[in-house]
Amino acid sequence: MIINNLFSVPIVFFDISDDIIKKTLSRVNTFIDEKTDWRSKTILGETFTTYHIEKNFLGKIECVDLLNEINENVRHFLELIGKDPTIGLEIDTWVNFNPPGTGHQMHEHFGSLASGVIYLEAGNDSGDLVFYDPINLRTQSNSHNPGLIYKKNDFNFTNYRLKPQTNRMVIFEGWLYHSVDYNKTDKNRISISFNVGELRGEN
């Protein structure tokens, strides 16, 4: 038997140094304490984030070393998927704050060459990152009916669950649907998310 595993979707992991994570987390906590009321809110549900108000978050809090890590690792990712790793890149970053009971619904980052998350503070049950099977015709077909599956393998799973891990950077293509489970711990989860696109020159 010859098997060709077609249409691969890579998800890549990088570990970030303790020094960079600790310095970033310290500045993020200062931002949260001085600029937001997130710690005092008790409403369960969605992530608190700067996504809609500040997409140069790491630049604003002067965490250039973590920005450099994103730049370098995304270039490795682009090379892996056969795209030019030397192109100019535009990097958007924002912070996510997840108290107990908060998560994030299924979404994608349309138009991004690469997207990702960096866990600054996360526990084992603080909310899995869940990726969904992107082949719509397969998920809509009776052949993918869960009732027919007697053994899960690389050809029949419908989602992939990733437990958050402090110091870990996860990179994936932005079109891939994903969600974040609810934080089931009694502690906050803090992360930095990013989108990376091709740098466009002025006309």
Least confident segment among 22-31, 88-97, 153-162, 180-189? 153-162
CA distances from 16 to 19, 55, 126, 170 (A): 8, 21, 19, 11
Note the pLDDT tens digit of each residue in 51-72. 999 999 999 999 999 999 999 9
- The domain that holds 187 is classified in CATH as 2.60.120.620
The pLDDT of residue 153 is: 84
3-state secondary structure of 76: helix
pTM: 0.92
Domain-located, residue 151: no
Domain-located, residue 105: yes
Domain-located, residue 51: yes
Note the pLDDT tens digit of each residue in 152-172. 888 878 889 999 999 999 999
Domain-located, residue 6: no
Domain-located, residue 85: yes
Domain-located, residue 124: yes
The pLDDT of residue 28 is: 98
Q: How confident is the model at residue 85 (pLDDT cuts 50, 70, 90)?
A: very high
Domain-located, residue 5: no
Q: Determine the Cα–Cα distance for residues 164 and 121; give it in Å rounded to an integer.
A: 9
Q: Select from 20, 30, 22 the least CA-distant residue to 65.
A: 20
Domain-located, residue 1: no
| Domain range enclosing 79 | 12-37+46-142+156-198
Domain total for the chain? 1
